Structure 1
Amino acid sequence: MQLRTFLTTAVAAAATLAFALPSAMAETKYKSEYRMSLVLGTAFPWGKGGEIWADKVRERTQGRINIKLYPGTSLVQGDQTREFSAIRQGVIDMAVGSTINWSPQVKALNLFSLPFLFPDYAAVDAVVQGDTGKEIFKTIDKAGVLPLAWGENGYREISNSKKAITKPEDLKGLKIRVVGSPLFLDTFTALGANPTQMSWADAQPAMASSAVDGQENPIAVYMAAKLQSVGQKHMTLWGYMNDPLVFVVNKDVWASWTPADQAIVKQAALDAAKEQIAIARKGLVEPGKPLVKDLEGLGVTVVDLNAAQRKVFADATKSVYTKWKPQIGTNLVDMAEKAIAGSRK
């Protein structure tokens, strides 16, 4: 009798295990490779951040999670503004993406494109690492993508092939390449420029052929892309906006990983983001801004606006700021403004 009971129990247990195993395996089924989307490659601080994240994840998971980088937003045929939707839909597994490029899908991200909101790096850190940053992460999460860490593309400075820019009038009629953001179009239109929307892949040939006169990007991007070689001989440091990056994962991919691996991927993102921000700011936070001297060594004329000059540009774009504040969310902008004021005490 005892033998029969034992056998019955054993058979039942085996049957339970047989049904349970496929389910458990399905829940933890890993892809052989995960696709990470990036706008810029590893020669740039942006792409370097993605590479550091991928390397840390592969090492810390002993190869369970292997990530391949896809720069040039190649998974969406170079259309930067489609990237966020593609992550949500699962076309892209992971990304280090720009708040600018994702702002059409997540209105709150336009906060960082408000002209002349962030006076310095301390202001940026106070916003992204504080309560405002947490609120924005909640919004990204609700939009269907899981955010893990804040990185940084940097302050976007303006260059052109025509002349030094020291006041808003100098921008009148200049054809400036911008990304596909309505807020960017409003800002440059308010300054009298002719903003022209195009992808980064199209921008460099357009500058080389003089189809556009100028562009705005962080100095690190300018340097890595060697934009002085396509006629961009005049650079103005006006710090009109800072472009934070966000390290994200598709939610279904995240759910397919064990809790232990989820923790590893998140910590790797935080660690990589910290390193990436340091790379993006290198040469700009040290005394004398060595990166600016490097620029001048390339034959570039550099204008570094003082606070009074910067205020003239801020005043010229005040109507844009006022128009967009309620669209972004008055409470969110107020929260950011308060954090920035606190960082200056």
Structure 2
Amino acid sequence: MRTPFARRSILIAAAAAPLAAPWVSRAQSLKSEYKLSVVGNRPIPLSASAFEWAELVTQRTGGRINVKVYPGSQLVGGDQTRELVAMRQGVIDFCVSSTINLSPQIREMNLFSLPFLMPGPAAFDALINGEVGRDLFRVLATRDVVPLAWGENGFRELSNSKRPIRRPADLRGMKIRFAAGAIFSDIYTQLGANPVQMSFADLQPALSTGAVDGQENPINLFLAFRMDTLAQKHLTIWNYVADAGIFHVAKPVWDSFSRADQEIVAESAREAAKRQIAAARKGLGFDGDRSSLDELARRGVEVVALTLEEKRAFAEATKPVFDKWAAQVGAELARKAQAAVAASA
């Protein structure tokens, strides 16, 4: 015969069972490994931050959420433009993406590739930290992923093996590699160059064999992968577009985490993104540190930093491309971006 106390204990346990069951089910549904994809590899900031994010999440969850990085976009055969599709197919769980590589599937991401929209870091920050950044995250969220933080891979500068580039005419006839996005083909075609699309994995051998004359990438990547040893002896600093980074998680994966784990994943992404931005800007003179520019000189790279007047000549030459793609990105989004950039000056 059960005592009144025993009967109360059974009732309390029965009432608590429905609450406990979902927690048990969720804990049991965690994978043994979560795959994080990123283009390139350490030490470039975009890739290094992916490792930082994975390490933070794994450590802070005591290994319950075990995140492993697959650099070089190896989960999609080196084709970084397929990462979003692979996330939606369940092949990739976490991703640190460049907006350039998202743009073939999401036209709005071409915003950061509108030529000469952003003169420098203050303009970039105004976009990612304001209404434009929130609008773009809402767009990305409709693609079965959960965006968590904005990062930065850096402003993309132009290098080549032929000659210094100061005027649009200097690009005439050059074979210039670009990563993805028809907007880049339009920009270089407008400038009289011959644009060639290829993956990052194919870029280095293409430069070493002369299959392409030049490429455009952030200075941090140029230095890390020693492109000066691949005949890239001329570099033009023109800040024609910026490469934004996005830390995001596949929505089914995100939904499988508890709220506490979601906060750990999100906060870890924000921390890694903050470090990514700092690393992307290091040594470029924005805060007085010119170590990256000094390293270019030490390696014998001829650096041309365009004046405002010289940049205006390129901006004017590519205005038809800007107008065409501003319409495709969305007139209202482009207008917001221009207003935010103007206000940041």
TM-score by length of 2: 0.94
Shift of 1:21: 6.1
Mark the CA change 1:8 to 1:202 in structure 2 (over 3 Å): closer, same or farther. same
Distance 2:236 2:166 in 1: 7
Aligned pair 1:197/2:197, yes or no?
yes
Instruction: Give the letter aligned to residue 134 of structure 1.
Output: R
Instruction: Give the letter aligned to residue 27 of structure 1.
Output: R
Percent pairwise identity: 48
Q: Which runs of 4+ in 1 moved over 3 A?
A: 1-4, 6-17, 19-24
Distance 1:140 1:24 in 2: 29
Aligned pair 1:99/2:104, yes or no?
no
Shift of 1:89: 2.1
Show the counterpart of 1:308.
309
Please provide the CA RMSD for this pair: 2.1
Show the counterpart of 2:281.
281
Instruction: Give the letter aligned to residue 216 of structure 2.
Output: E
Distance 2:146 2:193 in 1: 37
Shift of 1:25: 2.8
Show the counterpart of 1:235.
235
Distance 1:26 1:323 in 2: 51
Distance 2:288 2:255 in 1: 45
- Are 2:39 and 2:72, in contact at CA under 8 Å, matched by a contact in 1? yes
Deviation track 1:193-223 (CA, whole Å, cap 9, x = no partner) reads: 0000000000100000001000000000000
Distance 1:106 1:143 in 2: 9
Show the counterpart of 2:112.
112
- Are 2:128 and 2:134, in contact at CA under 8 Å, matched by a contact in 1? yes
- Which blocks of at least 5 consecutive residues in structure 2 are unaligned? none
Shift of 1:88: 2.1
Shift of 1:287: 2.5
Show the counterpart of 1:86.
86
Distance 1:159 1:237 in 2: 9
Q: Secondary structure at the match of 1:164?
A: coil
Show the counterpart of 2:339.
338
Instruction: Give the letter aligned to residue 174 of structure 2.
Output: L
Shift of 1:26: 2.9
TM-score by length of 1: 0.94
Q: Secondary structure at the match of 1:147?
A: strand
Instruction: Give the letter aligned to residue 25 of structure 1.
Output: V
Q: Secondary structure at the match of 1:149?
A: strand
Show the counterpart of 1:212.
212
Instruction: Give the letter aligned to residue 292 of structure 2.
Output: L
Distance 2:61 2:13 in 1: 32
Deviation track 1:37-89 (CA, whole Å, cap 9, x = no partner) reads: 01021211111111111121122222221111111100111111111111122
Q: In the TM superposition, what are the counterparts of 1:65-214 in structure 2 within 5 Å?
A: 65-214=65-214
Shift of 1:288: 6.5
Deviation track 1:118-169 (CA, whole Å, cap 9, x = no partner) reads: 0110000001011110111011001221100011110000000011111110
Shift of 1:290: 2.7
Q: Secondary structure at the match of 1:135?
A: helix
Show the counterpart of 2:259.
259
Q: Secondary structure at the match of 2:240?
A: coil
Distance 2:309 2:291 in 1: 23
How many residues are paired up? 343
Q: Secondary structure at the match of 1:151?
A: strand
Instruction: Give the letter aligned to residue 140 of structure 1.
Output: L
Mark the CA change 1:93 to 1:188 in structure 2 (over 3 Å): closer, same or farther. same
Distance 1:306 1:12 in 2: 75
Distance 2:116 2:206 in 1: 27
Show the counterpart of 1:27.
26
Shift of 1:8: 12
Distance 1:68 1:23 in 2: 26
Q: Secondary structure at the match of 1:104?
A: coil
Q: Secondary structure at the match of 2:195?
A: strand
